[in-house]
Structure 1
């Protein structure tokens, strides 16, 4: 495709590979801007498919499904980092696709991802790639204790094992099926943060504010965004690193770069997500341009304007556990949304999933207000009503 792509104006049809909640919120944003939408996902009850103008119910690699999507759309994006890169490459032969399959392929492989970070000159945790028994035996002792992560198909804490000794490392590699892995040295963490950037085909880059994140059991639980949520030096370092990673990929689209903040105040890049991200959901209610509108702008060639944070915000992730009380197997019961929505500045976003399950992402709650202190007080009230542990 011609890199100097003409602008795709509202009235055209935009496609997305993947029918999950990120696809649903992309579809809502595209429709609000006047676009028609098409979703490719084999699940008849997929959250995005249920609200889209067109739902192509095939797998990501189905040739007929991809051909149907290509015929229907003026441009295509993805909402799921494990969509086969080859499917994106196939679509790119006939229409603009962002992000490119080459960028997604790097994000899908931790070893290639780490190598890209090093090439871009951004700091990463000490690590070793383990693909063979010889590489396992050669792991330096100073990388332990560490976390062994599968190189591919890991997300939300899946495919990760903490190891403290060479014996534990060997056992963990066996447990993971001797698949290619990356061992990362455990570092003294203070907290985590992330940056969401949007990069256009002309190289223009804009970004959301740096997000301070709290994870529980490997899943994002809380994001806090307000001026001064991180020291200025950390904010600056994160923004420079994120832009370097996006430029190095010649990336087009929305990209989340996740960081560990160490106890000495330094940052190391953890991983990237080639799509909108949980930690950017607050932008729907706290910014004048959301991450999903940025996704639409990137893929259509519309101008990228720097988003403005107009309100301090906290995002609470809503897992299916909130529909259950206690440990006994009971039918799911919706939380008391009326009590939560009686609180000022609470914005509820549910994903239209037909069944609540423990650990399943069911929605998120954005809390906005005049000051960080007011937002935090309201967020803690909402968390108490929902049964979410305080933070």
Structure 2
């Protein structure tokens, strides 16, 4: 059997590109299943280093180091979507890469992502235009109208690399702020709530999804997620399955949506990895997203996605982590701390899941 379709036996090693909190929680899930993990990270003191079996320290651009790392693994995955595409492809030359490199190519560039979602996956997204000069921006705004959101095409997260433009007089300042990078402008969506769904596809093509999650952001950073969310008609899961199948995806994916007044959904973005809004699954009474991802990339059967509890997940950001002693004595609260050494404003230090029985 080709390694590309091999079902991993107990004791196999899963390589993870990236050593942040998602890599940490993936490693912990793998250990429960009798699988080993090997982290590749530029930072020897990354959160995942505390719990993984092995760690290779090196830059993502170091081809020889990536090859040596991949040769020591039975399968490779990644914990964040900004792993350089060439890094992922180099690793894939030595071991199966799940999810595939195409998922990274699509998710790393907002223009590529929006074009794929609309033209190939056939799902609704906000109106958008590619922008390469100030005149193109003004022309696009005439079509899209105000307000609109000017964004960098790459490396934007938690509100970074984007500016809302509300009127003509704000165009020049927005362009001067971001105009030295590849840009996209998107129509502003008058949503009534932000929701997401965590979905998985196995090596055999089986798809499973968790219930809808309702999300609240503060300062562009996810603050709370509640799941199962009220008013879940299953449409988000259907859309996620279309995307997974079109990408021939193996693993867990987070899909974020804007819900409109009439209940319709517009895809905001996809994340080809386990996702912050899926952390509630760790204490929902079902197979959590981290185990689900490990199961998928190992070629194992996918697990149950039906929760026994309603969970409110709250991110512990910056100094929020200092409240851990108070949280630790709460009934029905479960702390998850990432082991990061330095507390900084806006930095995700951990999260807490608070449960109520369904």
Q: 1:363: which partner in 2?
A: 350
Task: Establish whether residue 341 from structure 1 lines up as the match of residue 306 from structure 2.
Answer: no
Whether 1:260 aligns to 2:247 is: no
CA distance change for structure 1 residues 27 and 299 in 2, over 3 Å: closer, same or farther? Answer: same
Q: Summarize the Cα distance change of 1:92–1:4 in structure 2 as closer, same or farther, 3 Å threshold.
A: closer
Deviation at 1:56, TM superposition (A): 0.5
Residues 221 and 340 of structure 1, relative CA distance in 2, 3 Å threshold: same
Q: What residue is the counterpart of 2:317 in the other structure?
A: 319
Cα shift readout 1:125-173 (whole Å, capped 9, x = no counterpart) = 1222212345224214243211111110001110010101234233212
Post-superposition shift, 1:2?
4.3
For residues 54 and 88 of structure 1, the distance between their equivalents in structure 2, rounded to whole angstroms, comes to 19
Task: Determine the structure 2 residue equivalent to 1:56.
Answer: 56
User: Aligned with 1:287: secondary structure?
Assistant: coil
> In the alignment, what sits opposite 2:240?
242
Distance 1:223 1:232 in 2: 14
List aligned pairs for 1:39-118, cutoff 5 A.
39-118=39-118
Give the structure 1 partner of residue 26 of structure 2.
Answer: 26
Give the drift of 1:248.
1.4
Aligned to 2:186: 184
CA distance in 2, matches of 1:62, 1:91: 11
Question: TM-score, length-normalised on structure 1?
Answer: 0.87
Q: Deviation of residue 230 (structure 1)?
A: 3.0
Q: Partner of 1:280 in structure 2?
A: 278
SS of residue matched to 2:307: coil
Equivalent residue number for residue 293 of structure 1: 291
Q: By how many angstroms is 1:105 displaced? A: 1.1
Q: Give the C-alpha shift of residue 3 in structure 1.
A: 8.1
Distance in 2 separating the partners of 1:2 and 1:140: 51
**Contact (CA 8 Å) 2:308, 2:357: kept in 1 or not?**
no
Number of residue pairs the alignment of both structures matches: 356
Equivalences for residues 116-135 of structure 1 within 5 A: 116-119=116-119, 120-135=121-136
From 169, 172, 187, give the equivalent of 1:170: 172
Q: Distance in 2 between matches of 1:362 and 1:73?
A: 29
Q: How far apart in 2 are the matches of 1:48 and 1:267?
A: 35
Matches within 5 A, 1:224-235: 224-226=226-228, 229-233=229-233
TM-score normalised by structure 2 residue count: 0.95
Q: How large is the RMSD of aligned CA atoms in angstroms?
A: 1.7
Aligned to 1:386: none
Any idea what SS the aligned residue of 1:104 has?
Answer: helix
**Residue aligned with 1:302, SS:** coil
